C-alpha cells in the first residue's frame, strides 16, 4: 500500500481527468453538431433538425449511431495502414490539451509550467493527421486538400504563437493557471486587443473552419482530405474538428477572456466552470456565424492574408509588448 500512497498525485488525477475529458469531448461534439445545425437552420429561414426528440435534440445521437454502423471502405490502391491510423491521429491530440485546461480554480487536471506550449504542440499534430489521410487515400482531391492543409497550418500557426506570446509577456508565465489568475481584475483582451483578434482569426483558420475551410472545400475538392472516408473514420475527423474548435476557443477564453472569472457563484471554485463554458461557447457561436455568412477565401488570398498582414502585425504587437513590459 505504501507504493500506491507514494505515487505522485498526478498518477491518479490524469486518468480520471482524461476519462472526464473524453466524455466532455463527445458531449461537446453532440452539442456542437446540434447547435451548428440549429443555428444554421435559423440563419437560413429553416428550422434545422426537428424530427428526432424534442426539436430534434436527439438527431446527432442518432447520426452517431448511424455512422458507427457504417462500413469503413478502404480504397483499393490506398495505403491501408496509414489510411486507418489517420483518423486516430486526428482525434487523439485534439483531446490531450484539456489535461492542462483551467476550467475552474479547482478543475484543472495538472497545471504544468509550460501549459500553453503543450497545448500548441498538441494542436499542431492535427495537420499531420490531415496530411496522412489525404496522402494515404490515394485520391487526387484528397492529396490537394492535404497539401493545402499543410501550408495553411504552417502559415497560421505563427500568428497564433506570436499573439499568445504577447499575452505571456504581459503575465510573465507560460502556466495557464497563472495566466487566468492574473486576469482577476482586468481581462487580457483589454490589454492586448490586437493579439486577441489575430489569435481568433488565425485559430479559425487553424481549425479549418469556413471561411478558411480550404482543405475540405466542398465546391472545389468535393470533400478534400476526407473524400474517401466513411463511417466512424469520417466521424472521428468530424469529432476532431469540433474538439479542435473547443480547444482553440477555450485557449482564447483562458488567455484573453479571463477564463473562469465572472460574477461570484456558490462553490465558486468548481461552479465557475459555468463562466468558462459560457465564454467558450460564445466564441464557438461566432465561428458558426462566420461559417454560415462568408464565402470561402481563395488559397493564395489565404496565405497572403497570413504572411502579409497577420504575421507582421503580430510581430509588431509582440515587439511593442516586450518594450512596454521591459519599461
Partner 1 sequence: MTFKNETESENLEKSGQHKFLLNMGPQHPSTHGVLRLVLEMDGEYVTGIDPVIGYGHRMHEKIAEVRPAQSFLPNTARMDYVCALPYNHGYVSLLEQMTGIEVPERAEYIRVITVELNRLASHLLWLGTFLLDLGAFTPILYCFDDREQILDILESVTGSRLTYSFHRVGGVYKDIDDNFIEKSRAFIKRLEKRFSVYDKLVTGNIIFRKRTEGVGIVTSDIARRYGITGPNLRGSGISYDVRKAFPYSIYSKFDFEVPVGKNGDCLDRYYVRINEMKQSLRILSQALDMIPEGDIRAKVPKKLKIPKGQSSFSVEAARGELCYYMVSDGTDVPYRLKARVPSYGNLSALAEICEGMLLADLVAVMGSFDLVIPEIDR
Residues in contact with partner 1 by CB under 8 A are: 40, 43-46, 140-141, 144, 147-148, 210-211, 213, 217-222, 291-301
Give the three-state DSSP class for 108.
coil
* CB 298 to partner 1: min, Å: 5
Q: What Cα–Cα distance (Å) separates residue 248 from each residue in 7, 54, 221, 241?
A: 33, 31, 26, 11
Give the three-state DSSP class for 272.
coil
Please say which residue, 264 or 295, places its beta carbon nearer to partner 1: 295
Please say which residue, 98 or 238, places its beta carbon nearer to partner 1: 238
* CB 293 to partner 1: min, Å: 6
Prior bond to 211 cis, omega within 30? Answer: yes
Q: Which residues, other chains included, contact 242 with Cβ-Cβ below 8 Å and sequence gap of 6+?
A: 28, 29, 32, 33
* CB 102 to partner 1: min, Å: 35
User: What is the end-to-end Cα distance of the chain in Å, rounded?
Assistant: 54
265: left (phi over 0), alpha (psi -120 to 50) or beta: beta
Please say which residue, 148 or 226, places its beta carbon nearer to partner 1: 148
Please say which residue, 12 or 289, places its beta carbon nearer to partner 1: 289
Please say which residue, 32 or 104, places its beta carbon nearer to partner 1: 32
* CB 213 to partner 1: min, Å: 7
* CB 241 to partner 1: min, Å: 16
Q: What Cα–Cα distance (Å) separates residue 179 from each residue in 33, 97, 134, 187, 283?
A: 31, 16, 37, 10, 19
Give the three-state DSSP class for 27.
helix
* CB 25 to partner 1: min, Å: 26
Please say which residue, 106 or 298, places its beta carbon nearer to partner 1: 298
Q: Which of 155, 300, 310, 141 is nearest to 224 (CA)?
A: 141
Please say which residue, 31 or 43, places its beta carbon nearer to partner 1: 43
* CB 299 to partner 1: min, Å: 6
Q: Which residues, other chains included, contact 284 with Cβ-Cβ below 8 Å and sequence gap of 6+?
A: 32, 35, 245, 246, 249
Amino acid at each position: 500500500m505504501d507504493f500506491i500512497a507514494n505515487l505522485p498525485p498526478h498518477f491518479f488525477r490524469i486518468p480520471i481527468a482524461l476519462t472526464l475529458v473524453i466524455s466532455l469531448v463527445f458531449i461537446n461534439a453532440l452539442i456542437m453538431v446540434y447547435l451548428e445545425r440549429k443555428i444554421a437552420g435559423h440563419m437560413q429561414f429553416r428550422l434545422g433538425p426537428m424530427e428526432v426528440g424534442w426539436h430534434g435534440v436527439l438527431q446527432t445521437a442518432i447520426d452517431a449511431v448511424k455512422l458507427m454502423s457504417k462500413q469503413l471502405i478502404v480504397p483499393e490502391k490506398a495505403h491501408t495502414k496509414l489510411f486507418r491510423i489517420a483518423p486516430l491521429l486526428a482525434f487523439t491530440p485534439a483531446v490531450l490539451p484539456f489535461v492542462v485546461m483551467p476550467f475552474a480554480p479547482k478543475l484543472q487536471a495538472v497545471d504544468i509550467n509550460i501549459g500553453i506550449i503543450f497545448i500548441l504542440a498538441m494542436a499542431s499534430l492535427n495537420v499531420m493527421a490531415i496530411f496522412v489521410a489525404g496522402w494515404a487515400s490515394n485520391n487526387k482531391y484528397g492529396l490537394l486538400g492535404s497539401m493545402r492543409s499543410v501550408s495553411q497550418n504552417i502559415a497560421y500557426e505563427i500568428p497564433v504563437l506570436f499573439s499568445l506570446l504577447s499575452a505571456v509577456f504581459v503575465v510573465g508565465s507560460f502556466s495557464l493557471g497563472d495566466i487566468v489568475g492574473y486576469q482577476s481584475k482586468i481581462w487580457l483582451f483589454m490589454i492586448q486587443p490586437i493579439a486577441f483578434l489575430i489569435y481568433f482569426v488565425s485559430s479559425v483558420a487553424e481549425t479549418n473552419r469556413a471561411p478558411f475551410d480550404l482543405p475540405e472545400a466542398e465546391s472545389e475538392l468535393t470533400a478534400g482530405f476526407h473524400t474517401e472516408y466513411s463511417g466512424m473514420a469520417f466521424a472521428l475527423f468530424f469529432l476532431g474538428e469540433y474538439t479542435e474548435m473547443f480547444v482553440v476557443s477555450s485557449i482564447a477564453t483562458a488567455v484573453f477572456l479571463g477564463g473562469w472569472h465572472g460574477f461570484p457563484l456558490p462553490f465558486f471554485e468548481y461552479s465557475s466552470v459555468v463562466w468558462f463554458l459560457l465564454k467558450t461557447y460564445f466564441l464557438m457561436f461566432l465561428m458558426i456565424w462566420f461559417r454560415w455568412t462568408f464565402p470561402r477565401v481563395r488559397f493564395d488570398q489565404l496565405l497572403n492574408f497570413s504572411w502579409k498582414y497577420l504575421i507582421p502585425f503580430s510581430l509588431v504587437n509582440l515587439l511593442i509588448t516586450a518594450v512596454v513590459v521591459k519599461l
